[in-house]
Structure 1
Amino acid sequence: MTPRAPLAWKPVGAVAGAAFLVLLLTIGRYDYHRDELYFRMVGAHPKWGYVDQPPFTPLMVRGCIELFGDTVWAIRIPGLFFIAGAAFLLALVAREIGGGALAQTLAAAGVLTTFPLVAGHITITAAPDLVMWLLVILSLMRALLRDSPRYFLWAGLFAGIALYNKHLVILLLLTFAAGLLAVGPRGVLATKWLWAGAGIAVIVGLPNLLYQIANDFPQIHMAGALAENKGDDARITLLPLQLLWLGPFFVPVWVAGLVTLWRRPELRPVRAFAVAYPLMLVLLFVIAGQPYYSFGLLAALFAIGAVPTVRWLGDRTARRWLLGAAVVVNCGVAIVSSLPVLPIGVVGDTPVPAMNQGISDEIGWPRYVAQVKAVYDALPAEDKPRTVLLTGNYGEAGSLDRYGKPLGLPDVYSGQNELWYLGPPPESATVVVLVSQGDPARSKAFGSCEERAHLDNGYGVDNEEQTARVYVCRDRTGTWAELWPRFQHFD
């Protein structure tokens, strides 16, 4: 069994605290992200699952609103704790293979990189997924390295819980199992403890599975839509983004993690992780999965690589200075490019929005809503009681729901993802203020649509809404019940 040093609480806690602090200081800058606006809407309708994802994150957003108020900072509170917790989990992964205080601290510094900071700042599924993946990976490592198969039960429990946030943990389990078949220890696959853990995962995740069965596996349909709409981009960016998620200066560290799993005989029981990662990349390429799906495993490899990296430093001062400079530069660039640090008035003149779509998707919502309101206000008084808002995407719908109602705007509807299932407008709605990136004539739902405005955030930041137009549409060509299927789309 690999000797383990004590957990380096103070330095690891300092890294976790630094991540917590930088996320706290930027928690309310800019505005909601489009996904947060979407979760805010669908979370108001509790279910065991939604067409595009399990229930955890939407319901978490709703819970934060109930506890702390309907504000952007309120729904971002959990992300601070998820990322701080991930710092300790990364340190524990490094400790599991013999990493001391410095290796644990370097491993924890993985949370001060691009993807974790984005995931911690914006309330999306990625932060809780990272924590759950690391818990599963750590449990599997302990089961195998400590020859303590009871940890398979914990791995199963965490995997079952993870299913309520995303089903991506299945990718981890499948590729790890394939790794065990390829490089061993194959006997583990026949142990009662592993299968008991698998049983726990199924039992814990059963309500979520039953929802999928009862609703014709909507997650499969959603995955197919994502592959069709974004599959080419996902395949093209899959490998480059693996080099950027943790920052270019940290690439040698996680590569060292892969190498050390192969070279160190005492790590042979967990060598399957070295196989699982490339297998996962191949799988993601085949299914056109999003490049970030592999990040939880990549982060664990980084934590493993922290141990040989520290060993490489030895007592050489120059190498220690080199590593220190790399960590500072890597984390500094990540903070500036991942978080809303720059003044909003200048961010459009920098490469940050192009580097991080999450930043561009936080900008402009109140201005967009004001522009839609101007179109609504210009309608004849007799039209307003029979007017509804209709949007092409959930970001626009979420912003109009959040900011429009206090301004007196009517109800908003959208056909994207789960919002379509909230139902069509009432039959009394004969006038539609439509926000769309496409040509409304294509739907053939209205006899006439007149363009009245072009959305502009005023900051020179290019995002999806900069291509949107606002139309006033009349003369429906059928009932809403007949027309509503035309507006459904997954993306």
Structure 2
Amino acid sequence: MGAGPELPRFAALPVGIVVAVQAAVLTALSGRYGFHRDELYFVAAGHRPDWGYVDQPPITPWLARASTALFGETPAGLRVVATLLGMATVVVVALIAREAGGGRGVQLFTAVSTALSGYVLVVSHMLATNSADVLLWSLIALSGLRLLRTGDGRWWLAVGAFAGLGLANKWLVLLLLSGLAAGVAVAGPRRVLRTWWLAAGIGLAVLLAAPVVAWQAAHGWPMLTVAGGISEDDGAENRLLFVPMQLVYLSPVLVPVWLAGLVRPWRDPGVRWARALAIAYPVVCAELLVLGGKPYYSVPLLLPLTAFGAEPALRWLARGRATRRVLTGAAAAVCAVVSVLVGLPVVPASALNGVLLALNKEPAEQVGWPGFADTVAAAWARIPATERDTAVILAGNYGEAGALEHYGPERGLPRPYSPHMSYYDWGPPPDRQAGPVLLIGRVRRDSPAARVLTGCRPVALHRDADGVDNDENGVPLSLCTLAQPWSTAWPILRTYY
């Protein structure tokens, strides 16, 4: 199988300008609001490096540790790595457009579309497991498409390397691999499977992922427990919202573009080698509908489809009258503004409630953590000084625990504990700390935890100063009595969701 026609030159200058503007905007806004609850968890996990955690592989916490070590343990310092991942994603998706034969204009269009898409803005602004995941999916797609186009089996090594790294970040990459495998099996070119380079690529992926898989196996596969809980609790809602959310996660104006990319390999003989990509997306969507996975899990596949659809979309615009181009440009501008408003912290925190949070709840989880720590500090002060040496702060979730771990010391608070996710593994308190328990959150009377924490009396109610409707706004704080030693109480308190 030959390499086919020579590809256009990479549009380094225009794509570079897009990436530079992207970096400037993200950097300027990275310090607004504050840490996201997940970011606080990543920072805490990064201080406890391991080959795995209850709910995730290690790459994102490692990136958090590296970024804060280099640039400071602040929201802006942490988010340097998210910005770099977002910039790299734009470049890789532009290279996918080039792989599909797109010239300078097509690559520029793809870069701008990627950088301004709502999903990419969100995961480029704040550090999330998806920040690295969207880049790794794009790299697998680029390497796989280069393999399918050229037939050069050595590209299996790149696919294997990025797949192994993907497994060390988030196991959702298995969905992408299964979708592409199904696409090659159905539409070919199947000769890329008849090479020893395939085995070498698989071996490289296994080698990179082995420590992570071994950690999960040694700890009873907790990530599968978490995934099962997500499917059980949110599966019906995820299935109901799946199709509508596919239409809005990137941008409504990009839907015709990625649909064109889905159709193009079947109509354009020049890219028929990419039919596996067109098959992979519906396969991944079907898998997620069966599993009850979150709708955004499939969104990274829409980026290479957008890259493939860019050229026919631009041809359609060029053939139309000026009115078509003006209306399309106006719609694109409106959608870009909406994406920025939804994905970036450009409005005051007090203006978040309402439509913006309905479209993206993540900004709310970046607001109010210092005030939350103040509320906890005031409640802690109500414990008699003679009892504080044996008292314990018990946070209801990893976000609260991470916030108190970060903001607590300057407020005179001790180390917090939490039975949630990997914080469970980092506890329990010593049995000698059998004094008052400052509980953040509620304990249902019929829950097993009610046998452990008794006599709870409310001492405070946290209210966000900006009135933002997040998970901590309205959370009660109570002083409780520990009914049994922490060593026996801890397994009873454990929570995964």
**Is TM > 0.5 for Structure 1 vs Structure 2?**
yes
Q: Look up the match of 2:106.
A: 103
In structure 1, distance between residues paired with 2:411 and 2:201 = 52
2:176 to 155, 161, 172: 172
In structure 1, distance between residues paired with 2:404 and 2:232 = 28
2:262 to 244, 258, 261: 258
Q: Give the conservation status (yes or no) of the 8 Å contact 2:257–2:310.
A: yes
In structure 1, distance between residues paired with 2:389 and 2:219 = 35
- Shift of residue 479 of structure 1? 1.1
Q: Look up the match of 2:463.
A: 456
Cα root mean square deviation, aligned: 1.6
Q: Give the conservation status (yes or no) of the 8 Å contact 2:151–2:192.
A: no
1:344 aligns with 2:349: yes
In structure 1, distance between residues paired with 2:361 and 2:107 = 31
Q: Look up the match of 2:332.
A: 327
In structure 1, distance between residues paired with 2:148 and 2:332 = 31
2:282 to 278, 284, 294: 278
In structure 2, distance between residues paired with 1:378 and 1:440 = 24
Deviations 1:17-44 (CA, angstroms, capped at 9, x unpaired): 2221221111000011000011111211
- Shift of residue 437 of structure 1? 4.4
Deviations 1:368-420 (CA, angstroms, capped at 9, x unpaired): 11111111112222222211110111111111111111110122011111110
More moved, 178-187 vs 480-489: 178-187
In structure 1, distance between residues paired with 2:363 and 2:442 = 20
In structure 2, distance between residues paired with 1:354 and 1:360 = 11
In structure 2, distance between residues paired with 1:118 and 1:421 = 30
Q: Look up the match of 1:479.
A: 485
- Shift of residue 245 of structure 1? 1.2
Q: Look up the match of 2:33.
A: 30
The within-5 A match list for 1:112-261 is: 112-261=116-265
Q: Give the conservation status (yes or no) of the 8 Å contact 2:467–2:473.
A: no
In structure 1, distance between residues paired with 2:363 and 2:445 = 29
In structure 1, distance between residues paired with 2:275 and 2:325 = 28
1:39 to 37, 42, 45: 42
Q: Give the conservation status (yes or no) of the 8 Å contact 2:34–2:369.
A: yes
TM-score normalised per structure 2? 0.95
Q: Which amino acid aligns with 2:139?
A: L
Q: Which amino acid aligns with 1:282?
A: A
1:411 to 409, 415, 418: 415
In structure 1, distance between residues paired with 2:423 and 2:183 = 40
- Shift of residue 59 of structure 1? 1.4
Kindly tell me the number of residue pairs found equivalent between the two proteins. Answer: 489
Q: Look up the match of 1:446.
A: 453
Using a 3 Å threshold, how does the CA distance of structure 1 residues 440 and 124 change in structure 2: closer, same or farther? farther
Q: Look up the match of 1:382.
A: 386
Which residues of structure 2 form unaligned runs of 5+? none
Q: Give the conservation status (yes or no) of the 8 Å contact 1:2–1:96.
A: no
- Shift of residue 438 of structure 1? 4.4
In structure 1, distance between residues paired with 2:384 and 2:245 = 51
In structure 2, distance between residues paired with 1:68 and 1:83 = 18
Q: Which amino acid aligns with 1:337?
A: V
- Shift of residue 329 of structure 1? 2.1
1:94 aligns with 2:97: yes
Q: Which amino acid aligns with 1:445?
A: V
1:302 to 299, 302, 306: 306
1:433 aligns with 2:438: yes
Q: Which amino acid aligns with 2:401?
A: A
1:60 to 63, 73, 98: 63
- Shift of residue 205 of structure 1? 1.8
- Shift of residue 126 of structure 1? 0.9
In structure 2, distance between residues paired with 1:158 and 1:12 = 23
Q: Give the conservation status (yes or no) of the 8 Å contact 1:3–1:97.
A: no
- Shift of residue 171 of structure 1? 0.9
- Shift of residue 290 of structure 1? 1.7
- Shift of residue 467 of structure 1? 4.1
- Shift of residue 439 of structure 1? 3.0
- Shift of residue 151 of structure 1? 1.3
- Shift of residue 99 of structure 1? 0.7
SS of equivalent to 2:472:
helix
1:466 aligns with 2:470: no
User: Between the two proteins, what is the percent identity of the paired residues?
Assistant: 39
- Shift of residue 2 of structure 1? 4.3
SS of equivalent to 1:181:
helix
Q: Give the conservation status (yes or no) of the 8 Å contact 1:454–1:469.
A: yes
Using a 3 Å threshold, how does the CA distance of structure 1 residues 59 and 490 change in structure 2: closer, same or farther? same
Q: Which amino acid aligns with 1:439?
A: R
Q: Give the conservation status (yes or no) of the 8 Å contact 1:416–1:488.
A: yes
- Shift of residue 242 of structure 1? 0.9
Deviations 1:182-236 (CA, angstroms, capped at 9, x unpaired): 2222333333222322222112222222222222222212211221232222222
- Shift of residue 321 of structure 1? 3.4
More moved, 402-411 vs 440-449: 440-449
SS of equivalent to 2:417:
strand
Q: Look up the match of 2:292.
A: 288
TM-score normalised per structure 1? 0.96
In structure 2, distance between residues paired with 1:438 and 1:483 = 14
Using a 3 Å threshold, how does the CA distance of structure 1 residues 438 and 302 change in structure 2: closer, same or farther? farther
Deviations 1:423-453 (CA, angstroms, capped at 9, x unpaired): 2112122211000144367312123100112
More moved, 374-383 vs 418-427: 374-383
Q: Give the conservation status (yes or no) of the 8 Å contact 1:226–1:490.
A: no
SS of equivalent to 2:459:
strand
Q: Give the conservation status (yes or no) of the 8 Å contact 2:350–2:468.
A: no
Q: Give the conservation status (yes or no) of the 8 Å contact 1:86–1:130.
A: yes
Q: Give the conservation status (yes or no) of the 8 Å contact 1:441–1:449.
A: no
Q: Look up the match of 2:496.
A: 490
1:373 to 365, 373, 377: 377
